[in-house]
């Protein structure tokens, strides 16, 4: 049996949005709870994916004359792997990461074309803190010490 460690992997990308008055965005604890509940219920969730521990979007370049802005998007995925090298080699959960950014924009009423400039890149990878993700487990699962494992 292989012992799995828990890592936070930060994936970054850029995209363009049209918004007249940009304000940097970050998922709230409540939003993370909802996202993680949905992830746990996904029948086709990658087995190494524990949940989402954060997401943000910030302006990278000032808006042009059409209010188009280059935005830096970041999603932190909590995952399980036997080592840091193995975590680095895991496939990027592109669909999930892009849905998280879409949800961030939707909740902030920001319209984005959701066309990313490049493939998602790992910008940071480290052992996750020893604390559970924001998550409201179903009543039958509340006896588990860590609701996402």
* Any domain includes 16: yes
Mean pLDDT of 46-71: 85
Most confident of 12-21, 51-60, 135-144: 51-60
For residue 144, the model assigns a pLDDT of 35
Question: What is the separation of C-alpha 90 from the centre of its chain, rounded to a whole number of angstroms?
Answer: 15
Alpha helices in the chain (DSSP H): 29-41, 84-89, 94-107
* Any domain includes 72: yes
Closest CA to 70 of 136, 29, 12: 12
* Any domain includes 144: no
* Any domain includes 135: no
Give the structural domain span for 72.
5-129
Report the number of distinct structural domains present in the chain: 1
* Any domain includes 80: yes
* Any domain includes 145: no
* Any domain includes 143: no
For residue 127, give the H/E element and its range. strand 121-127
């Amino acid at each position: 049996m292989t012992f799995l460690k828990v890592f936070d992997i930060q994936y970054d990308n850029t995209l363009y949005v049209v918004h007249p008055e940009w304000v940097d965005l970050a998922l709230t604890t409540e939003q993370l709870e909802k996202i993680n509940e949905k992830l746990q219920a996904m029948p086709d969730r990658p087995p190494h994916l524990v949940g989402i521990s954060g997401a943000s979007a910030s302006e990278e370049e000032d808006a042009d004359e059409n209010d188009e802005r280059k935005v830096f998007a970041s999603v932190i995925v909590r995952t399980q792997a036997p080592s840091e090298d193995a975590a680095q080699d895991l496939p990027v959960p592109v669909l999930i990461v892009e849905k998280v950014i879409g949800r961030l924009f939707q909740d902030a009423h920001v319209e984005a074309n959701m066309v990313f400039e490049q493939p998602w890149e790992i910008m940071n990878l480290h052992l996750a803190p020893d604390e559970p993700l924001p998550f409201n487990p179903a009543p039958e699962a509340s006896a588990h010490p860590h609701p996402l494992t």
